A and B are shown apart, each in its own frame.
Chain A
Amino acid sequence: MRKLSRNKQASVEPNLITQDSCASSLDGQNCQVTSAALAKEPVDEGEKEFSRRRFLSMFGAAAGAAAVIGSGIELLSYRAYAQGLPKTNNWSGDGGMTGSGAADMASTEAPPTHQWAMVIDLGMCNGCQSCPAACQKAHYLTPDQTWMKVFTLTDNDGQTYSLPRPCMQCENPPCLHVCPVHATFRQDQGVVLVNQDRCIGCRMCMAACPYEARYFNWNSNVSYPPLPVASTPEFPVPQKLGTVGKCTFCVGNLNHGLLSECAAGCPMGAIYNGDLKTDVAVNSLGSTVKLSKFLYDNNAVTYKPEQNTHPRVWYILGHGQDLAANAASAS
């Protein structure tokens, strides 16, 4: 992972667009021969195509020596990701709904107008723990159930920094693949949800998730106030005993034009809710950025790219921070 020491303010500010011919591959400006060729690939069958493209782009980029600066991992950052994206910036659910629960929804809903994503600027985060608090309050979670959890990690200089970790809403979610009853599904806006009326509580998904993003309902002694609406996968409150729960991206909030609870609760504006389709991201301080450019300029990375999960959550690294190093030091 390349370490960046970059002026955060400049990158948050959407007006300060640097003149880079490769600035936004989402717009179809291909800076490499390989990505032009790759963009011709069909866009359905999301996950498979993606991994293939990813692989091919790594391969092609390695061959075309011009663009290669870093290691293989470098190429899995957003820059490489963007190069692999379809030319038309067409996110028409191509990441796709998966699972039979998703099929039910597909029949009743119009084609998605959003593909939700998140950007977390680690340089901005001061570890104040506001985001888990806001999340837990909104979802009536127990103190253990940190759907949004702030980990304290060590950077390359031996300093600690904070890593807020929501569910990564993986485009290739291991939790979904292993669920024996399709209780975990991916809705058409790319958000991975759990149907707690179907979950059998086998916890296979907890074993499969590389980000420890899933939390079980272990105990019956959780009390909820009277709530006006029934529990749904989008807003699983009250949660059901013996089933699994996790971050929902507050997809209900997003669809009503609100920020997710964690983003809204962050006093530093470190968490951006984004939409890959309209290519916009917003944080609690009101900064609105062009998402693809924001990610590209800041060389945003995903966490544990080697897991091939293709997260929809990107991180912007602060000085000396290295998520790859932390993935290894964890064990």
Chain B
Amino acid sequence: MKETNINETALLTGTDQRNSAKERWSVEVRSAAVRPMSGRTSMRWRLAVGVLSLIVLAGIGAWIYQLKHGLGSAGYNDQAFWAVYIVDVIAFIGVSYGGAVISAILRLTGQSWRAPLTRLAEGTALVTVVIGALFIFPHLGRPERFWEILVYVNTSSPLFWDFVAIGTYVMATMIFFYLPLIPDLAIVNRILGQEDKPMRYRIFKALSLRWMGNERQRRLLHGVMSLVALIIVPLAVSVHSVLSWAFATTSRPGWSETVLPPYFVIAALYSGTALVIVVASAFRKGYNLQRFITKRHIVRLGYFMAALGLVYAYLTLADMMTDGYTGITTGWISQTVTGRYAIAFWFYVLVGEVLPLVVVAVKRFRNIPGLTIASLGVVIALWVKRIVIVLPPVTQPLIGNQWGSYHFTWVSLTITLAGVAAIPLGLMLLFRVVPVMSIDEMEEMGELGSAEQVSEHTLVASELLSVGAPNGNGHSNGHGNGNGHGNGNGHGNGNGHGNGNGHGNAARVSEGEVQ
């Protein structure tokens, strides 16, 4: 249980008071988005953060152990010189790409249904890119000398360009997260006021750059946002291409493939979209966003994911076809398909390709639980697929026929698990500090929504508020039954909310301090 000190007057500060439907929509959005940020956290939230933090700490402990005892303790050897950590780097930066690109594409194409998803997608991108970049450190034998890359620059090394690309991408992701946050920072400050957390108030005040929401500021922000969204797509493509060239520029069969850059890019998009689905449905449940993120959102993302999955399957085939057919360098292929990596490979085929396609194709499974499970499967299977991309060419013999092998150890598993745990942990902490949905965009979307939708929202809002009051949510229930939805101004593109989830969930929403 969490005390919320949001009162409605505060929630409504700065909104257009003349329009009651819009007003109610704002109340809902603001309360849902700001609730996790204010007051005390729930027991469950603290428990989750505690457990996740412990896992991350265990990972850091394992890393310290590895620093002392050497990379051999993580299972590495001379015939498996790249393994789990480089896979983690690729996989985490990969999933980050999905978040960033989904958000960017939806922005650029003006999809208004994106509104409840963008913050989650951008937050996921931010958290995962930071984790992915950090995995470079356990990967290195001498992480304390990392700075040398900047000092003894070797521009002919793929790793130098990896460094440049990842560095640029981390910066871009931060900017991409920050820009749409600007209006929200101002809104949050107006809602929560100075007393709640004076420190946050001061920081937000500085970061919101005196945002008033006037026409000039909006136009400026919109312009900059479009520009950044436009830049981040090719930037992310370049990052994953450059990452792939660290492999493709060697002469190892299986890596030295022209298909590798797009292969990496699509893998990143595919797994990233899957992670956005997982994150969206997890936060939908845990943060009571059921009424904003609906089945429709998840299904749309599911279609996008399935399309990417098909492209990825195609690239996988294209990668193996040429080498396999000519038979010149088939060692890595036979080991992948029937040999020592066969289990991992077929796990990818089943869980990473067949399962999501079936789930998306069959109507009975094409719902939020089905798609969430399939997406989780895709995220895991694509990690496994990266193992299959990295390990066969590493362990294959370049002279003679003695294959090498890599074995996971508790060190590498703990550190990888820590990275996995850091995703929800990072997101939960992030959305303790910033709103979980883009309030500004949601309100804008509310304005754009059709009359019918607004009416439904309004109805639900009143339910929410009336049921919510006894739960100690502190929502004073001063609203009537929002029938005055004078906002049917014809902008409606039908993409919005309210496909029936809203009603059923209203009661659950209001129980809602569970974060």
Q: How far is A328 from B401 in the complex, measured between Cα atoms in Å?
A: 11
A330 and B331 in contact, given A100-B152, A153-B400, A204-B158 (Cβ under 8 angstroms): yes
Interface residues of A in 296-329 (CB under 8 A from B): 307, 326-329
Contacts of B250 on A, CB cut-off 8 Å? 174, 178, 207-208
Asked if B246 CB lies within 8 Å of chain A CBs, one says yes
Interface SS of chain A: helix, strand, loop or mixed?
loop
Taking a contact as CB atoms closer than 8 A, the residue among B152, B157, B399, B401 that contacts A204 in the complex is B157
Q: How far is A149 from B330 in the complex, measured between Cα atoms in Å?
A: 25
Q: How far is A221 from B79 in the complex, measured between Cα atoms in Å?
A: 19
Contacts of B328 on A, CB cut-off 8 Å? 328
What's the nearest-Cβ distance from chain B to residue A185, in Å? 11
Asked if B214 CB lies within 8 Å of chain A CBs, one says no
Quick check: A200 and B163 within 8 Å, CB to CB?
no
> What is the interface size of chain A, counting residues whose CB is below 8 A from a CB of the partner?
49
What's the nearest-Cβ distance from chain A to residue B214, in Å? 48
Contacts of B399 on A, CB cut-off 8 Å? 151, 153, 163, 165, 211-212, 326-327, 330
Asked if B287 CB lies within 8 Å of chain A CBs, one says no
Asked if A159 CB lies within 8 Å of chain B CBs, one says no
Quick check: B331 and A178 within 8 Å, CB to CB?
no
Interface residues of B in 141-157 (CB under 8 A from A): 141-143, 145-146, 148-149, 151-152, 154, 156-157
Interface hit among B68-76, B95-103, B276-284, B435-443: B68-76
Interface SS of chain B: helix, strand, loop or mixed?
loop
Quick check: B159 and A202 within 8 Å, CB to CB?
yes
A216 and B149 in contact, given A210-B251, A242-B71, A330-B398 (Cβ under 8 angstroms): no
Quick check: B141 and A212 within 8 Å, CB to CB?
no
Contacts of A217 on B, CB cut-off 8 Å? 70, 141
Q: How far is A269 from B330 in the complex, measured between Cα atoms in Å?
A: 37
Interface size grouping (class) on chain B: 35 or more
Q: How far is A178 from B331 in the complex, measured between Cα atoms in Å?
A: 25
A207 and B148 in contact, given A174-B251, A178-B249 (Cβ under 8 angstroms): no
Q: How far is A145 from B246 in the complex, measured between Cα atoms in Å?
A: 25
Taking a contact as CB atoms closer than 8 A, the residue among A198, A327, A331 that contacts B331 in the complex is A331
What's the nearest-Cβ distance from chain A to residue B67, in Å? 8
Interface residues of B in 389-410 (CB under 8 A from A): 394, 396-401
Asked if A215 CB lies within 8 Å of chain B CBs, one says yes
Taking a contact as CB atoms closer than 8 A, the residue among A183, A199, A216, A331 that contacts B76 in the complex is A216
Interface residues of B in 320-371 (CB under 8 A from A): 328-332
A219 and B331 in contact, given A199-B142, A200-B146 (Cβ under 8 angstroms): no
Contacts of B68 on A, CB cut-off 8 Å? 220
Contacts of A68 on B, CB cut-off 8 Å? none
Quick check: A201 and B141 within 8 Å, CB to CB?
yes
Quick check: A178 and B158 within 8 Å, CB to CB?
yes
Quick check: B157 and A218 within 8 Å, CB to CB?
no
Taking a contact as CB atoms closer than 8 A, the residue among A198, A202, A210, A219 that contacts B73 in the complex is A219
Asked if B77 CB lies within 8 Å of chain A CBs, one says yes
Q: How far is A157 from B334 in the complex, measured between Cα atoms in Å?
A: 26
Q: How far is A270 from B141 in the complex, measured between Cα atoms in Å?
A: 36
Given contacts A100-B152, A203-B82, A206-B82, 15 further A-B contacts (CB under 8 A): A180-B157, A203-B81, A207-B250, A208-B250, A220-B68, A220-B70, A242-B70, A242-B141, A243-B141, A244-B141, A328-B329, A329-B401, A330-B397, A330-B399, A331-B331
Provide a sorted-by-A list of 30 A–B residue pairs whose CB atoms are within 8 angstroms: A145-B78, A178-B156, A180-B163, A181-B154, A198-B152, A199-B145, A200-B146, A201-B142, A204-B158, A206-B81, A206-B82, A207-B250, A207-B255, A211-B398, A212-B399, A215-B78, A216-B76, A216-B78, A217-B141, A218-B70, A218-B72, A218-B76, A219-B73, A220-B70, A242-B71, A307-B251, A326-B399, A326-B400, A331-B332, A331-B397
Residues of B within 8 A of A (CB): 68-73, 76-79, 81-82, 139-143, 145-146, 148-149, 151-152, 154, 156-160, 163, 246-247, 249-253, 255, 328-332, 394, 396-401
